[in-house]
A and B are shown apart, each in its own frame.
Chain A
């Protein structure tokens, strides 16, 4: 079992309100990722679950027991740190065995569990080495192994992959996912990388300035972002935002600015009609733009001037100017385009997002 409940969690550092009213139920066996820019309170929240930071107000419970005042060692959790925090003077084996020794496990049991974890992680041959004799990826595995051997109720990960190079990071990400599927232990994972959040999380918690912005499954965040921040944070390249004015021309609702006039689909019309005459922020993901063809109705296309072309192989990113705004479009790799050329782009009308200009909440 490993159910974690955060109830009205707050954290103050002197005058700074670092974590504000966080409420979250983490189910048993769930992989929950906290994501957000640095200083958003995600690591603080994780450290409060670990017991490394005191909670200013609220309750944290694990499997129904409030653990607010329990020492880290009594919470039955294991944590993997960003810098691995391997004990430099101990061998890999001793690093992994330390937690079990402290808990007075029998030697045979320690040996069995360490070998088992080493097998899972493929570090069996390094057990006698010291951490400084290992590569970054191997150290990362040892840090994971140290967490696994304890069979804790909850794993806590604090940006465990951010010290690895890009290739290794992708590889370890997959291994983490496999490991979670295999062990089924509840995991709370903190990262600033939205790709990690999307790929690893059963559910993702997006935080900013100490506030939870949205909690949801990865695709839910991608398809129905609760506000402009989540919309811009999730997805790569980031969503394009354009300031538009809603206009009602003979029953057809349009979003208009200096460079485009997009006909709002009937599915959105209901919600947007009250905003006629007001300025809104319209969001379009780069992948929801394509080069306009004959099949695209004129009301969904607009002219754009190409400023930069980025060839990625699987797709082409066009940095374009639309009126006063700049946008990025991810288009088909077979597209032939030249810089400074004018190109008509079309939007996928079902995938338009609208946000209140002031509150930035999704409409």
Chain B
């Protein structure tokens, strides 16, 4: 904490903090307020009488109702959830094993292989979707959830591997050596000792992977075409922006509902998540 006179605490802590909070939370506030504001207020010009952009006295559920009744929002939510969970699980499994191998098994070129995996993460998705589209077409996976479940790991696996590598390196080597002297095979030492100890790291990698695939836009836009297959980010934008007409209310309601699962995931695991990122193993 900041020591000294009261004004110092205000100037150096509370005011900057309030500014930060305002800056970070305002978009969410705007999203919430827009999603419950009736159309009549939304499209009123700024110079009209009683113009009040930050508050509404007549909240409405019309936009949410429109989302569920006139669009396929429910299926988009389901699609997104299924795709995000499946690709996260695949990536986590691969990432945990790859991260373990790269950080613990001394095999030739382990270091350069690790760097190589990281480099693949740096290839921009906006370029990678072109060859991937070709592959998806060849395997006739276009317009199915599998087109995303199998392509998301192309950037999620490097990401999880890299994160897990760092985490496994922070786990004392002696734990595993002790387990192996205690009679565990390498495999058992990993399953019974290393992975349980690395759970904070695995959780944070999982949350990150889940968020990345939940929010993913480019691949979903390219690989999915029929409305009932779409994910939330793509569905909302392609169905609620028609030409130059923006359905602001439903758009914001869709964005709000789409971000709730991620927010829940974060708040649920927040302690593990922070421990995972700071790489602390309590002995």
Q: Closest approach, in angstroms, between the C-beta of B145 and any C-beta of chain A?
A: 35
Contact across chains for A87 and B193 when beta carbons are under 8 A apart: yes
Q: Closest approach, in angstroms, between the C-beta of A43 and any C-beta of chain B?
A: 12
Q: Would you list which residues of chain A between 71 and 87 have a CB under 8 Å from chain B?
A: 71-73, 75, 77-79, 81-87
Q: Closest approach, in angstroms, between the C-beta of B271 and any C-beta of chain A?
A: 15
Residue-wise interface mask of A (41-84) relative to B, using a CB-CB cutoff of 8 A (1 in contact, 0 not): 00000000011100000000000000000011101011101111
Contact across chains for A72 and B177 when beta carbons are under 8 A apart: yes
Contacts of B172 in A (CB 8 A): 83, 85
Contact across chains for B185 and A73 when beta carbons are under 8 A apart: yes
A116 to B192, CA, bound (A): 25
Q: Indicate which residue in A85, A139, A150 contacts B175 across the interface (CB closer than 8 Å).
A: A85
Contact across chains for B185 and A88 when beta carbons are under 8 A apart: no
B182 at the interface (CB under 8 A from A): yes
Contact across chains for B174 and A99 when beta carbons are under 8 A apart: no
B40 at the interface (CB under 8 A from A): no
Contacts of B174 in A (CB 8 A): 81-83, 85
With a 10 A CB-CB cut-off, give which of B172, B179, B181, B197 has the most chain A CB atoms.
B181
A81 to B177, CA, bound (A): 9
Q: Closest approach, in angstroms, between the C-beta of B58 and any C-beta of chain A?
A: 54
Contact across chains for A87 and B181 when beta carbons are under 8 A apart: no
Q: Closest approach, in angstroms, between the C-beta of A313 and any C-beta of chain B?
A: 37
B81 at the interface (CB under 8 A from A): no
Contact across chains for B180 and A73 when beta carbons are under 8 A apart: yes
Residue-wise interface mask of B (179-202) relative to A, using a CB-CB cutoff of 8 A (1 in contact, 0 not): 111111100100011001101000
A73 to B182, CA, bound (A): 6
Q: Closest approach, in angstroms, between the C-beta of B165 and any C-beta of chain A?
A: 20
Known: A98-B192, A132-B282, A132-B283. A87 touches B179 (CB 8 A): yes
B265 at the interface (CB under 8 A from A): no
A131 at the interface (CB under 8 A from B): yes
Contact across chains for B181 and A89 when beta carbons are under 8 A apart: no
B270 at the interface (CB under 8 A from A): no
Known: A83-B172, A98-B192. A88 touches B283 (CB 8 A): yes
Q: Indicate which residue in B180, B188, B197, B282 contacts A72 across the interface (CB closer than 8 Å).
A: B180
Contacts of A153 in B (CB 8 A): none
Q: Closest approach, in angstroms, between the C-beta of A41 and any C-beta of chain B?
A: 18
A240 to B175, CA, bound (A): 42
Q: Tell me how many residues of B have a C-beta within 8 Å of chain A.
A: 21
A51 to B177, CA, bound (A): 10
Contact across chains for B182 and A150 when beta carbons are under 8 A apart: yes
Contact across chains for B182 and A89 when beta carbons are under 8 A apart: no
Dominant secondary structure of chain B at its interface with chain A: helix
Contact across chains for B175 and A87 when beta carbons are under 8 A apart: yes
Q: Would you list which residues of chain A between 196 and 237 have a CB under 8 Å from chain B?
A: none
Q: Closest approach, in angstroms, between the C-beta of B37 and any C-beta of chain A?
A: 49
Known: A98-B192, A131-B283, A132-B282. A85 touches B183 (CB 8 A): no
A146 at the interface (CB under 8 A from B): yes
Contact across chains for B180 and A71 when beta carbons are under 8 A apart: yes
Residue-wise interface mask of B (272-283) relative to A, using a CB-CB cutoff of 8 A (1 in contact, 0 not): 000000000111
A83 to B178, CA, bound (A): 11
Closest to B192 in A: A98
Residue-wise interface mask of B (157-180) relative to A, using a CB-CB cutoff of 8 A (1 in contact, 0 not): 000000000000000101101111
Contact across chains for B178 and A85 when beta carbons are under 8 A apart: yes
Q: Tell me how many residues of A have a C-beta within 8 Å of chain B.
A: 28
Contacts of B199 in A (CB 8 A): 89
Q: Closest approach, in angstroms, between the C-beta of B133 and any C-beta of chain A?
A: 44
Contacts of B281 in A (CB 8 A): 88
Known: A73-B183, A88-B197. A81 touches B282 (CB 8 A): no
Q: Indicate which residue in B178, B193, B196 contacts A81 across the interface (CB closer than 8 Å).
A: B178
Known: A83-B174, A87-B197, A88-B282. A50 touches B192 (CB 8 A): no
Contact across chains for A78 and B181 when beta carbons are under 8 A apart: yes
Contacts of A150 in B (CB 8 A): 182
A103 at the interface (CB under 8 A from B): yes
Q: Closest approach, in angstroms, between the C-beta of B192 and any C-beta of chain A?
A: 7
A102 to B179, CA, bound (A): 9
Contact across chains for B181 and A72 when beta carbons are under 8 A apart: yes
Contact across chains for A84 and B181 when beta carbons are under 8 A apart: no
Q: Closest approach, in angstroms, between the C-beta of A209 and any C-beta of chain B?
A: 25
Closest to A78 in B: B181
Known: A86-B283, A89-B196, A98-B192. A77 touches B175 (CB 8 A): no
Contacts of B282 in A (CB 8 A): 88, 132
Contact across chains for B179 and A79 when beta carbons are under 8 A apart: no
Q: Closest approach, in angstroms, between the C-beta of A129 and any C-beta of chain B?
A: 13
A75 to B174, CA, bound (A): 17
A84 to B197, CA, bound (A): 15
Q: Closest approach, in angstroms, between the C-beta of A197 and any C-beta of chain B?
A: 22
**Can you show 14 pairs from A to B with CB atoms below 8 A apart?**
A50-B177, A52-B177, A52-B180, A75-B181, A78-B182, A79-B181, A84-B283, A85-B175, A86-B283, A87-B179, A87-B197, A89-B197, A102-B183, A103-B183
Which B residues are within 8 Å of any A CB, using their own CB?
A: 172, 174-175, 177-185, 188, 192-193, 196-197, 199, 281-283
Which A residues are within 8 Å of any B CB, using their own CB?
A: 50-52, 71-73, 75, 77-79, 81-89, 98-99, 102-103, 131-132, 139, 146, 150
Q: Shortest 9 CB-CB distances between A and B: which pairs?
A: A99-B182, A102-B183, A85-B174, A85-B178, A81-B174, A73-B183, A72-B181, A89-B196, A103-B183
